[in-house]
Amino acid sequence: MSEVLTEACGLRFGFQQEETILDGLDLEVRRGDVRILGGESGKGKSTLMRLLIGLEKPLPDETGSVSGQVFLFGEDIWEVPRLRVRELRKRIGFVFQNNALVSNMSVLENIAVPLRYHTDLPDDEILRSARRWIDNLLLTGHEDKRPAHLSLGMQRRAAMARAMAMSPELVFLDEPTAGLDAKNSEIMLSLIGNLRALSNVAILMVTHDLASAHFLGGRIHLLLDGRLRPARTYEDLVQSPDPRERELVRDDQETRFG
Amino acid sequence: MTLGIGEGIVVLITWIGELWETSLPGRAGRLLIQVIASPFAGRRATARQIGEIFLQQTYYTAVEAVPIIVILATLIGGVTLIEFATVLPRVGNSDFLGDVMVLAVLRELAPLFTAFIVAGRTGSALATFIGNMKVHGEIDALESMGIDPVRFLVLPAVLGCTVGMVCLSLLFTVSALLGGFLVAHLLAHIFPGSLGLDMELPLYLEKISGALRLMDGAIMLLKPAVFGLAIALLACMNGLSLGISSHEVPQGTRAAVVQSFVSVVAMDGIFAAIFVIPQLTGVMP
């Protein structure tokens, strides 16, 4: 069995103690996996991704320590020093829903940031590597533009290029097709598929476009009542005996096909 | 249930500790410790990128503020010189013009006015810049790439602001002493004899240099360095402490500027206590 890249065990989270949105959640992503997280809006899917890399802290348990555990590459991120967590994060990529590109840097500089920070590579090599990702993500000719001068689709692709710059083993994609028109969504999914074919990177993706799991060959976890349902294929969900699961797939089809 | 003396002391120390943790000096002190520790926690390769941000910050803090500092210093120097040159003969102490100019401009006016300008320009811009990065998730994005925002953003900004502040304060001092003299001299020609400023530049410079002491040089460098450090730390701290809502950015900026003004004046008082009171008591020359 392949290596576990990230794992959550008994995770509890709420923005206030009395408002728990994740309640004893378990999840495991192995090398080469494609996992899709679906579910209703505002129920903690993006928060779960942030928890998995330590950007949010789980609720405290009765003893005051964090409830549940989060492992990244086998290490409990709430047990190891902060510096170690940053070392582990070098091995992941994260595409935020709002892209979160550094606004006063060009696309090229944004993609070069992790390489400049984490490697001793000479600058021309860093720029060559960044330009390769610019070409791969169909951003040629836009490398010197600031994020504000790009369309949403281009910004998303630039964020994807930045996430891939360090050749990660695991990529977190937070609604990579949100806000994009049908054509740009298709381009985005096809690029994700290409990147996966190129590097066999594991993917954990939050999306309302559950049919994309079909396209990427992944399995879907639905987040319902603060817990993840077991992973299933899109076809299984369409024929699910649970009306709530069928409802989510129907919503997804309505979103896609109007 | 009553507490024993030992338990009471523990409760008191814990309470003071918690109070310190949440207080302004406590939070700024914690960020300062992170800034000091950050160069030792990470790779050498980042020095290149940090160096670029440091130079940008120094340029923005110091070079771009040159015109406003020169104009302000010249006017303030002129007014101060006219006031002293008018008042000192009345009390029969014209010979102390150099001393009072050094004391007023070099020790007090230059660091304070420069700090107010830097707090208004650099402090507000820095708090807004980092605050916007925070609310737009850019700080989280850096964290997600394993990049320490303190090392990547705060360290070069703090260094740039501190160096820029020292350079500007020196420029203020020179501009106030020389430019001020020129303004006052010009007025003395327009109103001959009325201001007691018929002194020539060499004599004026002689009086100034005669009044300078080693301690003045130390204060001239130390005060602006500490003020610049505090302004940058408070700006970064307020920017980083914002949440996810854009309406918090102006609030963070306002807090950074107000805290900078108050902190600078408070620290000026501490400097006075450290450097002036020992002189009064004869402990220090």
Q: What is the ipTM of this complex?
A: 0.91
Interface test with B, best of A117, A162, A170, A204 (most B CBs within 10 A): A117
Mean pLDDT of A171-190: 90
Q: Do A55 and B143 touch (CB under 8 A)?
A: yes
Interface test with B, best of A86, A98, A160, A172 (most B CBs within 10 A): A86
Predicted local distance difference test score (pLDDT) of residue A255: 58
CA atoms of B110 and B102, how far apart (whole Å)? 10
Does residue B196 surpass a pLDDT of 60? no
Torsions phi, psi for B69 (to 5 deg): -70, -45
B137 touches chain A (CB under 8 A): yes
Residues A84-115, buried b or exposed e (16+ Cβ, 10 A)? ebbbbbbebbbbbbbbbbbeeebbbbbbbbbb
Q: Do B140 and A123 touch (CB under 8 A)?
A: no
Does residue B103 surpass a pLDDT of 90? no
- Higher-confidence position of A12 and A102: A102
pLDDT band at A124 (very low <50, low <70, confident <90, very high): very high
Do strands A170-174 and A202-206 pair parallel, antiparallel, or not at all (unpaired)? Answer: parallel
Q: Report helix, strand or coil for A118.
A: helix
Predicted local distance difference test score (pLDDT) of residue A258: 44
Return residues 70-89 of A near B (CB < 8 Å): 83, 86-89
For the residues of B4-18, what is the DSSP string, one character each? PHHHHHHHHHHHHHH
A16, amino acid identity: Q
Among all residues of chain A, which has the CA nearest to that of B45? A120
Which residues of A are less than 8 Å from B40 in CB distance? none
Q: Do B45 and A55 touch (CB under 8 A)?
A: no
Q: Looking at the DSSP assignment, which residues form a beta bridge with residue A94?
A: A172
Does residue A12 surpass a pLDDT of 60? yes
Other Cβ atoms closer than 10 A to A149: 12
Of chain B, the percentage scoring pLDDT greater than 70 comes to 91
Among all residues of chain B, which has the CA nearest to that of A172? B144
- Complete domains list, chain A, with CATH: 1-91+210-258 (3.40.50.300)
A51, amino acid identity: L
Return residues 57-116 of B near A (CB < 8 Å): none
B152 touches chain A (CB under 8 A): yes
CA distance A10 to chain B (A): 23
Mean pLDDT of B93-115: 83
Does residue B187 surpass a pLDDT of 80? no
CA distance A258 to chain B (A): 31
For residue A223, give the H/E element and its range: strand A219-224
CA distance A158 to chain B (A): 13
User: How far is CA B64 from its chain centroid?
Assistant: 17
Give pLDDT tens digits for A90-120.
999 999 999 999 999 999 999 999 998 898 8
CA atoms of B102 and B208, how far apart (whole Å)? 7
CA atoms of B92 and B251, how far apart (whole Å)? 51
Q: Report helix, strand or coil for B150.
A: helix
**Residue found under tokens 């201001």:** B195
Contact of B150 with B35, CB cutoff 8 Å = yes
Give pLDDT tens digits for B227-245.
999 999 999 999 999 988 8
CA distance A74 to chain B (A): 17
Task: Take residue B16 and report the two structure tokens written for it.
Answer: 């003071």
Mean pLDDT of B281-285: 62
Strands of chain B, DSSP E? none
Q: Do A118 and B143 touch (CB under 8 A)?
A: no
Predicted local distance difference test score (pLDDT) of residue A141: 94
Q: Mean pLDDT lowest for which of A31-35, A192-196, B110-114, B194-198? A: B194-198
Q: Do B138 and A102 touch (CB under 8 A)?
A: yes
Predicted local distance difference test score (pLDDT) of residue B128: 96
- Higher-confidence position of A49 and B43: A49
Q: Mean pLDDT lowest for which of A87-91, B86-90, B121-125? A: B86-90
Among all residues of chain A, which has the CA nearest to that of B41? A83
Q: Mean pLDDT lowest for which of A37-41, A195-199, A248-252, B19-23? A: A248-252
Task: Take residue B210 and report the two structure tokens written for it.
Answer: 């005669």
Predicted local distance difference test score (pLDDT) of residue B40: 80
Do strands A170-174 and A227-228 pair parallel, antiparallel, or not at all (unpaired)? Answer: unpaired
B44 touches chain A (CB under 8 A): yes
Does residue B195 surpass a pLDDT of 60? no
Does residue A159 surpass a pLDDT of 70? yes
Give pLDDT tens digits for B110-136.
999 999 999 999 999 999 999 999 999
Tell me the count of A-B CB pairs closer than 8 A. 79
Predicted local distance difference test score (pLDDT) of residue A147: 95
Give pLDDT tens digits for A197-227.
888 899 999 988 888 777 888 889 999 888 8
B34 touches chain A (CB under 8 A): no
Tell me the CB-side half-sphere exposure of residue B176, using CA atoms within 13 A.
Answer: 30
List chain B domain ranges. 52-269
Residue B53's Cβ-count burial label (10 Å; 0-12, 13-18, 19+) is middle
Q: Which of A151, A155, A148, A159 is nearest to A103 (CA)?
A: A148
